Amino acid sequence: MGNTAKQRQNAYVLWFDEISKEDIPLVGGKNANLGEMYQKLTKTPSKIFKGETIKVPYGFAVTAESYRYFVKANQLDVKIASILKGLDTGNIKDLEEKGQEVRQAILGAKFPEDLEKEIKNSYTEMAERLHIDKGSLDVAVRSSATAEDLPDASFAGQQESYLNINGEYQLLEAIKKCIASLFTNRAISYRVDRKFDHFQIALSVAVQKMVRSDRGSSGVMFTLDTESGFKNVVLINAAWGLGEFVVKGVVTPDEYMVFKPTLKQGFNALISKKLGSKEKKLIYSSEGIAPTKEVPVTEADRHQFVLSEEQILQLSRWGVIIEEHYGRPMDIEWAYDGVTRELYIVQARPETVQARKDQNVLEEYVMLEKGRILVKGAAVGAKIGQGKAHFIKDASQISEFQEGEVLVTEITDPDWEPIMKMASAIVTNSGGRTSHAAIVSRELGIPAVVGCGNATKILQTGQPITVCCAEGEEGKIYEGLLKFKIEKHDLKNFVAPKTQIKMIVADPELVFGYSFIPNQGVGLAREEFIISNFIKIHPNALLNYDKLTDEHVKRQIDELTVGYSNKVDFYVHKLAYGIGILASAFYPNEVILRFSDFKTNEYASLIGGRDFEPNEENPMIGWRGASRYYDPNFSAAFALECQAVKKVREEMGLYNLKTMIPFCRTPEEGAKVLAEMEKNGLKRNKNQESGIKRTVKKIKSKIIKSSNPINQDLEVWCMAEIPSNILLVEEFGALFDGFSIGSNDLTQLTMGIDRDGKLVAHIANEKSEAVKKLIRDLISKAHKIGLKVGICGQGPSDFPDFAEFLVREGIDSLSLQPDTVLKTAIRIKELEDSMKKKK
């Protein structure tokens, strides 16, 4: 102890407290990072999180020098070179045969006597240092290649790990197996294809105290979103038992997401929580030769979240501490000891896929046609791939796989990397977004849909399919070879216009990707999408669950609310998580959330909805928006929306979230809604007088105060979509903090048409002079009383000349569909420049 690694260049064993991140040539990437974290982060208190430190299990590294000594002593370098001479990695059979021959040569070799003695002595010393009886010292034995886990070369999953190793004989055999794993088929292929010299890479082995996650849980953690590269989140996957099943994709784990900026401010920044199926787990084995065994997970545990909120936040804090220390996004493995009830970090490496991405080029895959959906799962990589499906059941079929086919399998075996690089896409039954299949597919730049459950039963070998991961978090496998396009946008020379360009968003699964499009926040976040796609249940059906008489509806509710003992909590939490992701994606820019604007027929289509909704002849101008929120038949449901918003703002710390009231017919109605919000903990403009009596002077002072997007006061905007909103600008303006034009509804109500009615649809025209006059009046009058005006209708996205009209009238912001933001922003900038020249 105490000697530095540099003083022991020729050492066969180095302890974690002798190693740092500079020592990759001596102990490989994995061990260098373990030593770095053990030395720097388990002892030094964090400045970000009130002196918190992380936990790393102690251990030692069998060095790269030991590997070289072992190789030379057995003349393995000569044997391996001879075996691999003339290897063609494209010839799968040749690769399999030569790889097997190399590994057998290694496993049949013997350790030199002095090296064996030092490893055994170190194992004994480790037990002494940890105050554990040597007979019960269980260790994890992990491979650590000297070229592994470099920022520009990911070798993740290329070498093996062996768990629950006990005793000197098992330890020596496990170390030998680790050395052999440097020459797995995939590792040989990987090095050859990336032009790494086999003999320039050495192998070190980590011998680390086991964490009893067989009695607890384990998983992986990334300090960014692995799909989009969005850097403000920590993504955690978790499952029961030892971590190998999560890494290899054997199980579909729970998935949690935490927002880093507000986590650092001390908030409960958990913004997403999804239950995984977790059908099986890996635990210690007390029978036979194998040290571990697979067992089924009980139904109760399958339906339970693996981690508590405090554990999720603790892991996230550790992820941030590690990331800040290394100065880059990280890929981390963690484990929870079910005996000591403590969390540990067992591995960390730099994230390599998103780190190499060119942030100045925005690449977008777009489906041009749709077909029959055959299978769904979790999308990996926002791309589209297509080809003939090819089901591979086991290694014996690998040589049958052809370039350009879609690999379909239960899980991807790490040995299959040579055929994965030939695939146009990958589809698996099992695994999550941090599984082996997901990691490799990202690195190869091909789309993958994982955790489908039944893909191998539905997709037939030879069947033409299109694998789409460009439509959100849910990946879809379509029948046939469908048309799609790839759009590339160069952002290097983009200059934003003076008029604020915001977005219209709805799907939380897409917004991290949208955040890279130049924008100034969100002018309309639609709550309805979250309710219809992620909750699916009418709020009153949850509030009155015990009174429901339809057993089919109750069964549907029970299936969707698994993991929640309180049905109402399910609604609030799911809604809050969806809103939280929308708000976090654009933080610190403002995100204006419109409260639910379903019509009665749309609410009725939700599960259990028909019992709580009236039949209306014309729902478009019926019981919708503001009129619902204070109605005794819906006010309790609106209270749940308020609770979700309160959770996002006050628990998650996302104070950039603002709210908007749709379809507010009268100022009196607006005042009633504000009163309902305040009753449910959402007091508009804290420390400010609210209500109609508030003066224009106070409105103006509020606008100045709100120029900081993270001002904690709650702003409430009003949709300007009814002529009364514009005819009574001053009265509505005394209640609200801004107006957002809903051009679709404003057009229908100005022109007296039902925009859902086909017979009169041809009359609708947002660019009619009547509509434009109302908009012109709103902008002028609102500006006079110090209020901003934006627009969130479809018009500016569809009609360039309409967008130009709005800019000429001095509108403050345009909210656009994401796919029109860039081209509209460029056009608006040109218009502003020409207007400036004319002045």
- Grouping H, G, I as helix, E, B as strand and the rest as coil, residue 32 is helix
Q: What is the pTM of this model?
A: 0.84
Residues identified as active-site: 436, 792
Q: Give the model's confidence band at 91: pLDDT under 50 very low, under 70 low, under 90 confident, else very high.
A: confident
> Which value, to the nearest 10 degrees, does the dihedral of the CA atoms of residues 692, 696, 700, 706 take?
0
Contact between residue 732 and residue 626 where contact means Cβ atoms under 8 Å apart: no
For residue 406, the cross-strand partners are: 389, 425
Residue 706's CB: how many other CB atoms inside 10 A?
17
Mean pLDDT of 48-59: 95
Beta bridge partners of 716: 659
C-alpha 674/C-alpha 484 separation (Å) is 46
Task: Give pLDDT, residue 288.
Answer: 64
The bridge status of strand 448-450 relative to strand 292-296 is: unpaired
Q: What is the pLDDT of residue 278?
A: 94
197, pLDDT greater than 90: no
Share of the chain above pLDDT 70, in %: 93
Plot region of 231 (φ>0 → left; ψ -120 to 50 → alpha; else → beta): alpha
Q: How confident is the model at residue 239 (pLDDT cuts 50, 70, 90)?
A: very high
Q: In whole angstroms, give the CA distance from residue 424 to residue 440.
A: 13
Share of the chain above pLDDT 90, in %: 68
Range of lowest pLDDT (188-202, 264-278, 660-674): 188-202
Nearest Cα to Cα of residue 425 among 455, 376, 371, 387: 387
Predicted pLDDT of residue 698: 41
* pLDDT higher than threshold 90 for residue 300: yes
Q: What is the mean pLDDT of residues 554-561?
A: 96
Answer whether 387's CB lies under 8 Å from 404's CB: yes
> Does an H or E element contain 101, and which?
helix 92-107
Please name the residue that has the structure tokens 């995100």: 591
750-777 burial: b if 16+ Cβ within 10 Å, else e: bbebeeeeeeeeeebebeeeebbebbbe
The yes-or-no verdict on residue 553 having pLDDT over 90 is: yes
**What are the φ and ψ backbone dihedral angles of 409, each rounded to 5 degrees?**
-160, 170
> Can you give the pLDDT at residue 701?
39
85: pLDDT strictly greater than 90: no
Q: What is the mean pLDDT of residues 827-837?
A: 86
Specify the DSSP element, H or E, that contains 504.
Answer: strand 500-505
Backbone angles phi, psi at 270, to 5 degrees: -75, 115
From residue 152, alpha-carbon distances to 194, 350, 353, 447, 643 in Å are 11, 9, 9, 21, 45
CB 537 within 8 A of CB 571: yes
- With a cut of 70, say whether residue 619 has pLDDT above it: yes
* pLDDT tens for each residue of 621-647: 999 999 999 999 999 999 999 999 999
What is the model's pLDDT at position 757?
67
Yes or no: say if 54 and 37 are a contact pair by the CB < 8 Å rule.
yes
The pLDDT tens digits of the residues spanning 10-38 come to 799 999 999 999 999 999 999 999 999 99
- Measured between its terminal Cα atoms, the distance across the chain in Å is 76
Helix, coil or strand: residue 291: coil
Q: What is the mean pLDDT of the chain?
A: 89
Residue with more model confidence, 540 or 759: 540
The mean pLDDT of 317-346, rounded to a whole number, is 97
pLDDT, mean of residues 702-729: 78
- What integer pLDDT is reported at residue 95 of this predicted model? 87
> pLDDT category, 802, cuts 50, 70, 90?
confident
pLDDT value for 363: 79
Mean predicted confidence (pLDDT) in 655-671: 97
pLDDT mean over 520-548: 96
Tell me the per-residue pLDDT of 243-286, one tens digit each, with 9 for 90 and over. 988 988 889 999 999 999 999 999 999 999 999 999 999 999 87
The confidence score (pLDDT) of residue 820 equals 80
pLDDT band at 473 (very low <50, low <70, confident <90, very high): confident
Task: Return the structure tokens found at 617.
Answer: 């002849």
Burial class (CB in 10 A: 0-12, 13-18, 19+), 286: exposed
- Kindly state the tokens that stand for 683: 């007091």
How does residue 148 score in pLDDT terms, banded at 50, 70 and 90? low
Distance separating alpha carbons of residues 205 and 413, to the nearest angstrom: 22
Q: 157 pLDDT exceeds 80?
A: no
SS3 labels along 538-593? CHHHHHCHHHCCCHHHHHHHHHHCCCCCCHHHHHHHHHHHHHHHHHHHCCCCCEEE
Least confident range from 198-202, 224-228, 532-536: namely: 198-202
Q: Are 467 and 475 in contact (CB under 8 A)?
A: yes
Q: Between these two residues, 732 and 762, which has the higher pLDDT value?
A: 732
**pLDDT reported for residue 694:** 40
Report d(CA 386, CA 404) in Å as an integer: 8
Q: Above 70 in pLDDT, residue 707?
A: no
Backbone angles phi, psi at 486, to 5 degrees: -120, 120
CB 584 within 8 A of CB 265: no
Residue 153 clears pLDDT 60, i.e. is over it: no
3-state secondary structure of 655: coil
pLDDT band at 758 (very low <50, low <70, confident <90, very high): low
SS (H, E, C) 142-205: EEEECCCCECCECCCCCCCEEEEEECHHHHHHHHHHHHHHHHCHHHHHHHHHCCCCHHHCCEEE
Q: What is the mean pLDDT of residues 285-289?
A: 75
Does residue 505 have a pLDDT over 70? Answer: yes
Q: Say how many residues make up the chain.
A: 839
Burial class (CB in 10 A: 0-12, 13-18, 19+), 161: buried
